[in-house]
Amino acid sequence: MIPRVPKGTIWTARHVCKLLNVGQTSGGGRPWCSPSSFSRQTISCVHAAASCSTCSRSQLDVHLVQKFTPQRKGLTNREQGHAGAVYIHRRHHKPYPIRCSLARNLNMLNLKKITNCVRYLSTSNHGNVRPLLSQKQSSDVVSVNVKTRKQGGNLSRERTLEREKLADLKRSSPVIAGPSLASGDVVLERDGHNTEIMVVNSLTKQLLKKEPLVLRNQNVATWYSCGPTVYDSPHLGHGSCYVRFDILRRILSEFYDINVVHVLGITDIDSKIIQRSLEEGIDFYKLTKKYETEFFRDMEKLQVLPATVNPRVTDHIPQIINFIQRIIKNGYAYPTESGNVYFDVHAFGTHRYKKLATHYMEPGTRDTEKKSPEDFALWKAAKPDEPWWHSPWGSGKGRPGWHIECSAMSSEIFGENLDIHTGGRDLAFPHHNNEIAQCEGCFNSNSWARYFLHSGHLFRKSDPNKMSKSLKNFVTIEDFLQSYSANHFRVLCLMSKYSNDIEYSEETVRHAVKICRQLSSFLNDADAYVKGQLMAREISEAALMQKLADTQTQFMKAVADDFDTKRGLDAIMELVRAANMAIGGKQHQQHMNVPRCAGAIAGVASYIDRILQALGVKFQSRMDVAASRSTKALSSTMDTLINLRSEVRKWALDTPLEDDLKGSEVTQSGTADKPKPKKLMYKALHRRAELLQKCDNVRQDLLQAGVQIKDRGTSATWEYVEKKAGDQP
C-alpha cells in the first residue's frame, strides 16, 4: 500500500523511480508498475533523471515523458512537462494540470506502457488505494480523455461513442482515479430529466467539479435527509443545516417546477438516547417524544417546510431486520454468536466501499468478533438496562445500528433508487458512506443515490469547532428567536453558499438584520409610492426595467450554479439599491408635479417580494394586513390615526405664531402694533413643542407594537417591522 500522501503532491520522475525500485504491489498482489514492462535502458534513464539534482520539477517530468512518449517538435520543455505530468488530484488543492490544448498536439496513442503507472499511482483523499482497472480499461480511459480532436462528419458520432464508453467504465468502477475532468472534457451522462442545475456531487467531485442535476423522473425529485437524533434540544447548528436545505428545496419547487418528495428520518433509538434516558431516569420513548416535539416546533418557527414523510426508527424495526437479512444472504454481512451483525467490508470490496471517504480514520480497538477493523455494526446485541427488540441472531434480543437505520427507512419508501441524499458535511464519512455500502450490498447494485449534497457547518467566532451538543458550544433555536426573527436567520443562511461554513458572530447577525430592514423598508416605500403617498424625483423607467431584467437573469444563473444563494442575494440587493435611488431622498414640494412611474416601481417590488417569499423570507406588509378580513378594521384605524397625527404635526410646524396668538389680551386691548410680550411667545412655542412631543410618543409606542411610522415632511406612512434585535446574538 502506498503511504499517506501529503495534499498537493505532484508525481514526478522521482516518485516513479521509487516505485520501480521497490516494486510495490497492490492489496491484490498485482504490481503497481511492473519493471518488466520497461527496458533496462528506460529504467536507468529514469534513475538518472531522478538523481539529477539540477533539474527542476518540469525538467524531471520531461526526462520521463521523453522515454514514454514520442517527442514532438516545436514544444518547449515546459510544454512537454505539462503534457506528461502525472499528479494526484487532492481535495481543496489545484493539481498540476495537463492542458487539453497541449494534450491534443501530442501523439498519446503510445502511452500503453505508462497507463498502468498513472492508474496505480492514483490514491484517494485519505491515502488509501483507488480501485485498480485493467490494462485495457486504463488505456481506454486515457484515450478517451486525451483523444486527438478529429475533423469530418463523424466527429459527433465518435464523441458520443467515447462518452458512452467512459460512462460504462465509470459504472463498472464508480471511483476512477486519474486527472480531473476540466471544462470542456467528457462529462458524466445520466439518463433522466436534466434540470439544467449544476451541482457539486460528493460522489463525483474528485472527477467532476460540477455536474448537471439529472432526475430519474421528469419534474419529480426523490430526496432523503438524515434527521435529528432526538436526545436534546435543537440548536442553531441543526437549524442552519435544515434551513439551507429548505432553501434548496424551495428553489427546486418554485423556480424549476419540480415536485419534491422529501423524507426526513428521525433517529429515536441510539446510544446517546439510551445514555440520556438512564441519566434522567425516564423511559427512552418519553425522552425522544419530548425532544422530537421540540424539534418540529423550532423548525416551524424557522419557517422550514414540513417533510413529506417523517419515518421513525422504532416504527421500522421489522423492515430493518429484513434489510439486514438480505445483506447477509448476498454475502456482505455476518452474524456473531453474541448476536451482533457486522458488515463485511472486504467481502463487499475495499475499492467499492470508501466512495465518500474525506479523511483517514485510524482503526479503533480491535473487536475480536470482527473479521476486520473496518467492519461496522448493522445490529447490536442487547445489553443490560437497554431497550431491545426480537431478532433472529444470538439470544434473540438487540437493536439496530446507527448506519442501517437511514438505509432501511429510505429504501422502504423510495425502493432501490434515490435522486438526492443530503446532510451535514460531518456525516459524509462514515455515515453516508456506510449507507451506500449497505444499500448496494442489499440490492446487489453499483448505484443507489445519484447525488450527495453536504452542507457546511455553523461556527462561533474564534471557535475552531463546529456548534455541537457534545461540545456544549451551541445556542438553542429558542434562545436565538427571543432576540431575532426567523427571517434574520434565513437571510444569514442566504448570505453564503449552502456548502460553505457560516461564522456566527455579532457582526454577521447584525449584517443579516440590516439586510432584512433594507428589504422590508423598500417594499413598504414602494407600496407608499404606488399609492401616491410618497413623492420622488423623475425616474427613468427604461433604465429601471433594464435593471430588473438583468437581475432576473443574474439570479437564475446564480441558483443554477450549485444553488449559489450568495450571488443571488447580491443581485437582489443591487436591484433594491437602484430602486431606492429612484424613489429615495427627502421629499420636496417640486416633486409634486414630476411624472410618476408607479408601474416600474410596482414591477420591481413585486419581483423582489415573489423571490423572497419563494426562498422562505416573508415580511408582513400593509398589503397582507389589508387582505385579511379580520384585520381590515385595524388597517382602517391605523390610517385614521396616522392622518390625525399628520394634521397635528402639520399645524404645529406650519401655522404662523401670529395665528396662535389671535384672541389674546394683547390683541383685544388694541395694542397689536406694540411688541408682543416674550411670555406669550414662549407659551405658544411651548404648546407646539408639547404637541410635537405627543406625536413622537405615539410613534414610539406604535414601534414597540411592531408598527413603524415614517414622517415624510407634512405627511406620513406606516408599515410593519421585524422585532427589534438584541444586543448580543
Residue 509's CATH number: 1.20.120.640
386 and 250: one domain? Answer: yes
CA–CA separation, 400 and 216 (whole Å):
31
Residues 590 and 666 occupy one common structural domain: no
In Å, how far are 495, 519, 594 from 500, measured between CA atoms?
Answer: 10, 24, 47
The pLDDT tens digits for 415-426 are: 999 999 999 999
Domain presence at residue 221: yes
Same domain, 293 and 334: yes
Are 20 and 98 in a shared domain? yes
Q: Are residues 611 and 542 in the same domain?
A: yes
pLDDT of residue 553: 97
pLDDT at 384: 92
Whether 452 maps to a domain, the answer reads no
Q: Does residue 660 lie within any of the structural domains? A: yes
Residue 722: predicted pLDDT: 67
End-of-domain residue from the set 619, 654, 686: 619
Helix (H, G, I), strand (E, B) or coil at 700: helix
Closest by CA to 266, choosing from 245, 296, 240, is 296
What is the C-alpha separation between 313 and 111, in angstroms, rounded? 53
Q: Checking DSSP bridges between strand 458-460 and strand 502-504, what pairing results, if any? A: parallel
Number of domains in the chain: 4
- Dmax over Cα atoms in the chain, in whole Å? 129
CATH code for the domain of 373: 3.40.50.620
Q: Is residue 475 part of a domain?
A: no
Give the whole-angstrom CA distance, residue 557 versus residue 549. Answer: 13
Please report which helix (H) or strand (E) contains residue 318, including its range: helix 317-329
The cell for 196 is: 439544467
> Is 385 within a domain?
yes
pLDDT at 473: 80
Of 157, 172, 187, the residue at which a domain comes to its end is 172
**144 part of a folded domain:** yes
Torsion-angle region of residue 352: left (phi > 0), alpha (psi -120 to 50) or beta? alpha
Q: What is the pLDDT of residue 639?
A: 72
Residue range 285-336, pLDDT digits in tens:
999 999 999 999 999 999 999 999 999 999 999 999 999 999 999 999 999 9
Question: Which pLDDT score, from 0 to 100, does residue 318 have?
Answer: 97
266 and 397 housed in the same domain? yes
Show the domain range for 368.
Answer: 197-411+423-441
| Same-domain pairing of 343 and 203 | yes
Q: Would the pTM count as exceeding 0.85?
A: no
Alpha helices in 173-235 (DSSP H): none
For the chain, which residues score pLDDT lower than 50? 1-73, 79-155, 165-187, 588-590, 628-629, 665-672, 674-675, 724-729
Same domain, 662 and 565: no
Same domain, 153 and 21: yes
334 with 206, same domain: the answer is: yes
The HSE-up count of residue 594 (CA atoms within 13 Å, CB side) is 20
State residue 592's pLDDT score. 54
Q: 568 is written with which cell numbers?
A: 443571488
d(CA 83, CA 100): 9
Per-residue confidence (pLDDT) for residue 222, from 0 to 100: 98
Secondary structure (3-state) at 343? strand
Do 592 and 662 reside in the same domain of the chain? no
* Residue 41 counted as domain residue: yes
Give the C-alpha separation, 443 to 457, whole Å. 33
CA dihedral 622, 624, 628, 632 (to 10 degrees): 0
Last residue of a domain, one of 602, 619, 636: 619
Q: Are residues 115 and 163 in the same domain?
A: yes
Residue 489 lies in a domain: no
